[in-house]
């Protein structure tokens, strides 16, 4: 084979609460939605990451230094080898190229990449795969967005023909494991189990690692809503795709003979999204026969562990030589839309953007971008790069042939509109720190209808793509979040009500063993957020403390008392005057009552 370069609360069953959990909830920032002018997106050219011609593969949007701004990682796949590219967000949606770090110093024919916190130390580590029988690369984050290369970790000295990889906690032990696809060599895919410290053991038995096909994209997903990660693998060469169903103990059975694994396509990627807001994830598959178009596929999840193929509409009749794909609500209207990349095709190549009508029907959008044409596109990813509440788009571009000039990668910033939004940055503790596999549900009144939306945090979308780990929801004209429900992989659940919109909530799952049992919070936590109009900061309690009085104190990160007041227990919120929070930085809010104690952090930016 030759390489082509290439309701509602609770909306779901509640799992057993394994630990006594206290939740810290932090509103990181709040921005006003922008009004769009012209196209929905503005293409950024001539500056990083769009000013470095390359033959690129993967796009990963991930906050690597913990500053609250997503960065961009792009792999390059040209033979015999090229270094990868990392761009640090400057805190305003512009970027600086990183030089000299190990993660951008190894030259190899790279393909996919995936980021996740393998050692649960609070930063995202990296795994990047290669082809042509070369070694894969594991990079451990030092905590500040710099990396160390660990050549013996994970696949070590094994040469591979790997396409991509995905982190997922398949055995729910609180540490993310790794699955790697291969399309040549012995063609066996690889599964590595994390020992909890970010060191890995190869799993050598089971169909996940013994099936032999030309595998491309892979995604972990809880498609059947049973609280564990299932695995989908896209296979090229007109082979059936593979779907492995987790039994809850980390053992898998293979789905056979039914949609979406009952036909022979040349599949490159799979992406998951709840396109009809009915509480389960539907499946899009991108197909390509390499310079021959093949229709893509969409499957509706029936909610019973089965799928129904969609046979009409642009999304399954447009043809194309499709590779990357990803769902996101780019117009913030309360339903997920879809972007699809195309490459290694004849004639003029165009990427696809499909608008969801709210019922799971898609129409191709021809105006949101000024230009949909591409020399050749591979991976793509969504993320709010300028923190304005709207999803931006990064596309890796490739050489359509060996003689084609190396193109620049593409960045499209979302101009926004008047629709509202909510973002959730979930941090696991009993669960894996990256919160991969975490389910988030929100319910809001949008366009006069009560709608519950769902997201699952994932380490991979489509082929060679990773969306931001910060979950994003479009809210249309909603002005309040009625309900928020988080299902952590550990089995614990969080419920909150009446939350503000146009806000980023940082929610940490914390097992609290430091306080005596009579002081453990049973209220679920508190939220700190900035009011748009007044600039004051509000402390909102998830429940009123039953008439108790308590002392609420604000400290700076060094422990200096900034402000204090007595909370009377009669309302669910306390105002912190903005005059006490004039210095940017991290602050601590502590509420101590007779029987309860709450504490959380928030950031003034």
366 in any annotated domain: yes
Whether 586 maps to a domain, the answer reads: no
Q: Per-residue pLDDT tens for 37-59?
A: 458 999 999 999 999 999 999 99
Cα torsion through 204, 206, 211, 216, rounded to 10: -80
CB 65 within 8 A of CB 79: no
We report the CATH number of the domain holding residue 47 as 2.130.10.130
Give 507's contacts (C-beta < 8 A, 6+ positions apart).
Answer: 23, 24, 25, 26, 424, 425, 426, 427, 486, 494
For residue 355, the enclosing domain spans: 21-414
Per residue in 296-312, pLDDT (tens digit) is 999 999 999 999 999 99
In a domain, 275, yes or no: yes
Q: How far is CA 544 from CA 159, 476, 605, in A?
A: 59, 30, 29
Residue 80, pLDDT score:
80
Q: Is 130 a domain residue?
A: yes
Please indicate whether residue 459 or residue 159 has the higher confidence score (pLDDT).
459
pLDDT at residue 524 in the model:
45
Structural domain contains residue 576: no
What is the band of 584 on the pLDDT scale with cuts at 50, 70, 90?
A: confident
Q: Which of 486, 435, 436, 482 is nearest to 459 (CA)?
A: 436
pLDDT tens per residue, range 219-257:
999 999 999 999 999 999 999 999 999 999 899 999 999
- The span from the first CA to the last CA of the chain, in angstroms, equals 53
- The pLDDT value recorded for residue 122 is 94
In a domain, 187, yes or no: yes
pLDDT of the residue at 521: 30
Among 74-83, 154-163, 521-530, top mean pLDDT goes to 74-83
132: left (phi over 0), alpha (psi -120 to 50) or beta: left
Separation CA 269–CA 233 (nearest Å):
8
Is the pLDDT at 511 greater than 70? The verdict is no
**In this predicted model, which residue has the larger pLDDT, 244 or 6?**
244
Q: What is the pLDDT of residue 68?
A: 94
Question: Which range (76-85, 172-181, 227-236, 387-396) has the least confidence?
Answer: 76-85
DSSP of 517-573, one letter per residue?
GGGS--S--EEEEE-TTT--EEEEESS--TT--EEEEEEETTS-EEEEEEE-SSSSE
Q: Rounded to an integer, what distance in angstroms lies between the CA atom of residue 13 and that of residue 277?
A: 17
What is the pLDDT, as a whole number, of residue 525? 62
Structural domains in the chain (count):
1
With cut-offs at 50, 70 and 90, classify the pLDDT of residue 517. very low
496 in any annotated domain = no
Residue 598: is its pLDDT beyond 90? no
3-state secondary structure of 46: coil
Q: Is 245 within 8 Å of 224 (Cβ atoms)?
A: yes
In degrees rounded to 5, what are phi and psi of residue 316?
-120, 10
Tens digit of pLDDT for each residue in 526-559?
Answer: 778 777 678 888 887 755 555 677 888 898 877 7
Kindly tell me the sign of the dihedral angle through the C-alpha atoms of 252, 257, 260, 265: positive
Structural domain contains residue 71: yes
Please compute the mean of the pLDDT values over residues 406-414 and round it to a whole number. 97
């Amino acid at each position: 084979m030759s390489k082509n370069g290439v309701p509602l609360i609770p909306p779901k069953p509640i799992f057993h609460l394994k630990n006594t959990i206290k939740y810290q909830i932090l509103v990181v920032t709040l921005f006003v939605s922008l009004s769009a002018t012209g196209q929905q997106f503005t293409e950024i050219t001539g500056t990083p990451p769009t000013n470095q011609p390359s033959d690129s593969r993967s796009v990963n949007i991930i906050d690597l230094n913990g500053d609250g701004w997503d960065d961009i990682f792009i792999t390059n796949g040209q033979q015999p080898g090229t270094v990868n590219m990392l761009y640090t967000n400057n805190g305003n949606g512009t970027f600086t190229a990183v030089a000299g770090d190990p993660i951008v110093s190894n030259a190899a024919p790279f393909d996919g990449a995936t980021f996740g916190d393998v050692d649960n130390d609070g930063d995202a580590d990296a795994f990047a795969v290669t082809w042509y029988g070369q070694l894969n690369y594991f990079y451990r984050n030092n905590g500040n967005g710099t990396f160390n290369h660990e050549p013996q970790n994970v696949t070590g000295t094994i040469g591979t023909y790997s396409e991509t990889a995905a982190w997922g906690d398949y055995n729910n032990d609180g540490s993310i494991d790794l699955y790697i696809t291969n399309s040549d060599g012995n063609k066996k895919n690889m599964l590595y189990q994390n020992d909890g410290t970010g060191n890995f053991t190869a799993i050598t038995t089971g169909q996940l690692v013994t099936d032999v096909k030309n595998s491309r994209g892979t995604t972990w997903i809880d498609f059947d809503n049973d609280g564990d990660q299932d695995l989908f693998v896209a296979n090229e060469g007109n082979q059936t795709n593979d779907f492995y169903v987790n039994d809850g103990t980390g053992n898998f059975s293979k789905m056979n003979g039914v949609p979406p694994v009952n036909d022979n396509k040349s599949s490159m990627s799979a992406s998951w999204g709840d396109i009809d807001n009915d509480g389960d994830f539907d499946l899009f598959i991108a197909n390509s026969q390499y310079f021959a178009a093949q229709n893509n596929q969409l499957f509706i999840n029936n909610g019973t562990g089965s799928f129904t193929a969609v046979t009409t509409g642009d999304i399954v009749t447009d043809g194309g030589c499709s590779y990357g794909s990803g769902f996101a609500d780019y117009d913030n209207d309360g339903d997920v839309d879809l972007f699809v990349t195309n490459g290694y095709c004849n004639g003029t190549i165009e990427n696809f953007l499909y608008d969801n009508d709210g019922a799971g029907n898609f129409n191709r959008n021809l105006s949101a971008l000024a230009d949909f044409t591409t020399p050749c596109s591979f991976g793509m990813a969504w993320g709010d790069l300028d923190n304005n509440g709207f999803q931006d788009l990064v596309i890796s571009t490739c050489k359509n042939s060996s003689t084609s000039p190396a193109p620049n990668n593409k960045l499209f910033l979302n101009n926004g509109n008047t629709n509202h939004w909510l973002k959730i940055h979930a941090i696991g503790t009993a669960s894996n720190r990256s919160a991969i596999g975490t389910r988030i549900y929100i319910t809001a009144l949008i366009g006069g209808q009560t709608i519950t939306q769902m997201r699952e945090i994932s380490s991979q979308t489509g082929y060679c793509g990773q969306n931001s780990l910060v979950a994003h929801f479009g809210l249309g004209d909603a002005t309040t979040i009625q309900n928020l429900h988080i299902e952590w992989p550990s089995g614990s659940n969080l419920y909150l009500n009446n939350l503000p919109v146009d806000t980023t909530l940082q929610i940490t799952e914390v097992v609290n063993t430091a306080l005596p049992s009579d002081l453990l919070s049973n209220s679920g936590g508190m939220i700190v957020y900035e009011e748009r109009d007044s600039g004051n900061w509000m402390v909102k309690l998830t429940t009123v403390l039953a008439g108790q009085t308590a002392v609420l104190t604000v400290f700076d990160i060094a422990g200096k008392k900034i402000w204090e007041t007595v909370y009377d227990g009669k309302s669910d919120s306390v105002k912190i005057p903005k005059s006490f929070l004039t210095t940017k930085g991290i602050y601590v809010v502590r509420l101590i009552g007779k029987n309860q104690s709450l504490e959380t952090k928030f950031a003034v930016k």
